[in-house]
Each structure stands twice: as structure tokens, then as C-alpha cells.
Amino acid sequence: MGSAAAYHLAARGQRVLGLERFTPAHDLGSSHGGSRIIRQSYFEDPAYVPLLLRSYELWEKLKRDSGTDVYSITGGLYMGPPESATFTGSLRSSQQWGLDHEVLTDREVHQRFPAFDPAPGQMALFERLAGFARPESTVGAHLRLAEAAGAELHFSEPVISWADDGDGVSVITAAGTYRAAQLVVCPGAWSPVLLSDIGVPIRIERQVMYWIGSAAGSEPMAGAPIYIHENDHVEQIYGFPAIDGPGGGAKVAFFRKGVECSPETIDREVHPVERAEMQARVTELLPGLSGSVVDAATCMYSTTPDENFVVARHPGHANVVVACGFSGHGFKFVPIVGEILADLVIDGATGHPIDLFDPDRLVSP
């Protein structure tokens, strides 16, 4: 979100200083792992769909302007029991906003996509325009475009604190102190520290991503759609085609099966019992994805109590804009969040519908 904000602000002629505690497009937060799902048939809430429609336009602009394949369209399957949130929520958003979709039975899913074998009676929504974004490439593209537009970007410079004195803001880093008219804070898993006074409880959770190989002699995930699957135990997984070739495996992960942590205490090791649990769960849906775990990596969710974002002017500081609490489903919104943050800084408001993201909804009296 910070890289997108730096780009959109600089592209509109603002003088921009960007501060990052690590290296560009690093793997210590929430924006790594090679792929993130993009989709419009949003089971979480139809209110997100207008933002997604604009985000898709900005994904295409970013791809064109950067000359980088930051996203790809594969189609998407959202599967589960007929009453599941994954299926019914996706259908509700598709119908409300007239999105291109099809409803499939478990047999129809298997006929069209033989790698998938949903349990009898399960239903699926197929969205033609779903796909995946490349997070590292996306961050890198925004950074390059930001610099080309005049932004000054500092890396390996952790922010220690910030203050708003009414006439502007001060930011103290490991290297010095900076003054500016306004501040945009996009701290990810560092939100509880850098935004401790916003009044929103944000839970930091350790999540694990896995890359699993196919059974000997089969390549079931070549050319497959992205997918989200909910089983009878209300347990969701999500996954991708084999986008890095057969040797790279196919990425899959549990959605919201995390352990509370902090950036300082997160366990970066992925343990054998975790690998075995993921292998057992994914073969419920994809019997051919039964090879070994080729790779695994951890990341962090920053989750709000209602799992909706926080994107707004800081309720206690007129010169500060915040973007945090993306709750494990934010990356597809990166381009439009950058645009919204630039709107809030330059115009004081945005025409995009962001009432859902007002932090006051979560602040105790």
C-alpha cells in the first residue's frame, strides 16, 4: 500500500519521501510469496465490488505503464456446500453487480476442470475475470514509477515514531528526523506499534503458504484457475495453478488459520505437522496434488475485529492518513488504495466508497 501511495502522490505532482524499514519488495511482512488472488465476485461483502472494478482498471494501467506482468487472468472457482459463505457470498456479489459468472455443480466442476473433485452436493461459482497478481513485481513496479515521477525513497530506515503538531508532521527514523505537511502511514504488521493511538484493535497472525507437487506422472494444475474451497467444517483453503512450472509446485494455503504473533516473535519455520495437515486438506479437493511440499513460507495477516480494512484520515490527527488492517484479503486492492490515499492527502476526501473502512466503527467509546 505504501509503494502505491508513493506512486500516486508523486504522479500527481506531490513532493514525496517514502520510508521503508527493510529492502524493496522484501519477504518479512505481507507482500511476498509470488502470487495473490485477484477477484471481483467478492464473498466477503458486495460493497467491495465497486472498488474492485476500479482496481482492475488500475492493475491494467500499472501493467502497461511499468511494462511488467503484474497480474494474469486465469478464471476462478469458489466452491463449497450450497449454504457456504464462499459460494453464497460470491453468488450474491455477482448477481448484485452483474458480474460475468456461472454456477456449476460438483460434477460440472470436475468435467470442466478434471483436477478438481468437490464433494457430492457441493456447488461452485466460476468467475471468468479472476486471476492472480505478483506481489513482489507489483511493489517493485510502483516503486520504480514513483521514483520516475520524482519520489525520494529511503530503504533500510525504520520509523521509530511520528508526531502531528497541527502545523505539520515530524517523523523520527533510525537515520534522522523529517518534517512534512502530511503523513501517510501504511505499517502492515507494525500497525499495533506505529498506530497504537488509533483505537482499533489489530491482531497480527502468522500464516503459512505451501507449494505442493503433483502425483507422479500428472500435472493437474497446469492451466488451472485460482480457487477458494470451503468444506463441511467451514474450513477454507485457497490456491493457484502451477504458475512457475511443474518444478515449482502449486501454491495453496489455509485462509484464516493463523496463530497470533508479532513481527518480532513470528515463527518463520514451517513444521512437519503443518505440512502434513496442508497435504491432507488439499487432496480433499485436488486428489492429484498429492506430491511432496516443494516449498513453504510464512507471512502475516493484520486483522481487524470485523475483517474489514482501515483506510481514512486518522481520527485524532488532521495531517495523518492511515491504511492498515487489511485482514488477509487486501492485496488485490493495492492500486486503488494508493489512489484513495492520494485523494485523501490532496483533496481531503475521495469519491470512492470507503465508509466501510472508517476506524470509528471499531473504536470503543
- What tens digit of pLDDT does each residue of 183-235 get? 999 999 999 999 999 999 999 999 999 999 998 656 789 889 999 999 999 99
* Beta-strand relationship, 183-185 and 320-324: parallel
Which cell numbers in the block locate residue 86? 464462499
In order of 82, 226, 336, the CA distances from 252 in angstroms are: 23, 10, 26
Cα 344 from Cα 320, distance rounded (Å)? 10
Task: Return d(Cα 132, Cα 243) in angstroms, integer.
Answer: 10
- Could you give the 3-state DSSP secondary structure of residue 250? strand
Residue 92: burial class (beta carbons within 10 Å; 0-12, 13-18, 19+): middle
Q: pLDDT tens digits, residue range 198-208?
A: 999 999 999 99
pLDDT mean over 50-66: 98
pLDDT in tens, 306-325: 999 999 999 999 999 999 99
* pLDDT given for residue 166 in this prediction: 87
Nearest to residue 145, comparing CAs of 55, 57, 65? Answer: 65
